Amino acid sequence: MINAIDNFFRITDRGSNMRTEILAGLTTYLSLAYIFIVNPAILHNAGLQYDGKGMDVSGIFFATICASVFTTLLMGFWARLPFAVAPGLEMNGFFAFTVCGTLGLSWQSALGAVFWSGILCIIITSIPARQKIVDSIPNNLKTNIAVSVGVFVFTTGLFLGKIAIFDKGIPKGIGSLTSSYAIALYIGLLVSYVLGMRRLRFPGGMLVAIIIAAVYCKAQGIVTATPAARREDMTSLVGKLDLISLFTDPKLLPVFLILFVIGFYGSIGKFIGLTTSTNLQKDGKLDGMKSAMYTQGIGTVTSGLLGTSSIITYVESAVGIATGGRTGLVSVVVGILMLCSLVFTPLVGLIPVEATSGVLCYVGFILLPHDRWRDSSGTYNTFDACVAVVMGLIALVFFNLIWAMTFGFIAYTIKQILSADQKNPFLISSTIVLIFSTILQEYIK
């Protein structure tokens, strides 16, 4: 049995073992379990202007868990990659406050746009253009995407530790460096660093760090309230999406495009960025990328059908990868634990999101491709370093991974156009799509 699992997931081939994979799955789950509480709280605001009730909290809770479980297990068994997938904060905030709030669209129509964006992702993945888009990304841009992902994860930790103060999703200043939240961050960061030192290499060090930080949070009264989960209401949002409005309401078209771009290009960026410093990439290519992109699209379609915002690949997957997870078994463990959350609802709140802040800061740093920067071959030059700095600053200052990627694509497209190298139409097309999507997103806000 163990040999069959090992062979199926290629655990030994990827330099891992069963214990490491299971620990990585548990650690990843603990780092993102907060979404089952936060997602219902945010999406509940969608539609409040219509009936004063908004989307049903229990229905969102059910949809969040079921969509996450299905897609994460699919990622594990099909793509066999260590990525956790669930509705993302960059998606649910846009869904509730921009699409349903600013634009005044119904949540049923918004769910329809989510569904169709997933369909488009599946279509693009099924044609040769998908691989050509990935292949068109210069290797040094892939390295710089890893930089921006690392900075984004680090900034997420600062936000959760309330060291970075945010206003409407953008860092606005520095908070208290001595608050209970900041101390929880320091505890998690210190324990992660000490247990991750080469002399120790303690298995599950980041899991220990999260648990210790959670104990401190509990002592300081930092807890998370679990959402209501009345069983009779849990399926209230299933199949309630509006599939027609996209073709009749012009306001939904930019929403549809933005959801697609964030889902499609955001996933490519995370797949590349999260695995750059691992053995999962060979010659700049990620084994299982196509299956992972199919999973992204199928998961988004499922989200719309069940009643939640778009599925994304979680940057918190970096925690499991940093623990040593290298295969789809990590995702399978995460998916099983997600399913348990549906049964043991009160247990979801035992690990407050603030307890993961220190680990995320630690992981954000180690995600940076240090080995690539030490390369003396000259393949990574001053231009690449400058672009990396700017992309990192955009991820830090604006807390927006897509903006950072857009800048990177613009920079390398201009470089290619001005050079004598052959122009790649897929790189240029991707850059145009990213620019157009970014402008649209800011315009409709």
> What pLDDT shows up at residue 91?
83
211 lies in a domain? Answer: no
Q: What is the pLDDT of residues 428-440, one digit of tens each?
A: 998 998 898 888 8
430 lies in a domain? Answer: yes
The larger pLDDT score, comparing residue 292 to residue 347, is at 292
The larger pLDDT score, comparing residue 232 to residue 313, is at 313
> What pLDDT shows up at residue 282?
80
370-374: average pLDDT: 55
> What pLDDT shows up at residue 148?
87
> What pLDDT shows up at residue 287?
86
21-27: average pLDDT: 93
324 lies in a domain? Answer: yes
Domain count of the fold of the chain = 1
> What pLDDT shows up at residue 65?
93
213 lies in a domain? Answer: no
> What pLDDT shows up at residue 199?
54
CB 23 within 8 A of CB 207: yes
pLDDT at 177 over 60: yes
Q: 94 falls in which pLDDT band (50, 70, 90)? A: confident
pLDDT at 3 over 90: no
366-395: average pLDDT: 74
> What pLDDT shows up at residue 18?
93
Q: What is the pLDDT of residues 110-131, one digit of tens each?
A: 999 999 999 999 999 998 888 8
> What pLDDT shows up at residue 206?
78
Residue percentage of the chain with pLDDT more than 70: 89
Tokens of 374: 């030490």
Q: 51 falls in which pLDDT band (50, 70, 90)? A: low
> What pLDDT shows up at residue 232?
61
The larger pLDDT score, comparing residue 369 to residue 31, is at 31
232 lies in a domain? Answer: no
CB 301 within 8 A of CB 119: yes
Residue-averaged pLDDT of the chain: 85
Most confident of 70-74, 169-173, 341-345: 70-74
pLDDT at 368 over 80: no
215 lies in a domain? Answer: no
14-40: average pLDDT: 88
Q: 223 falls in which pLDDT band (50, 70, 90)? A: confident
Out of 24-33, 85-94, 150-159, 168-177, least confident range:
168-177
Q: What is the pLDDT of residues 310-359, one digit of tens each?
A: 998 988 898 899 888 999 999 999 999 999 887 776 666 677 878 888 88
**Containing domain of residue 31, as a range?**
2-152+242-348+367-444
214 lies in a domain? Answer: no
pTM of the predicted protein model = 0.84
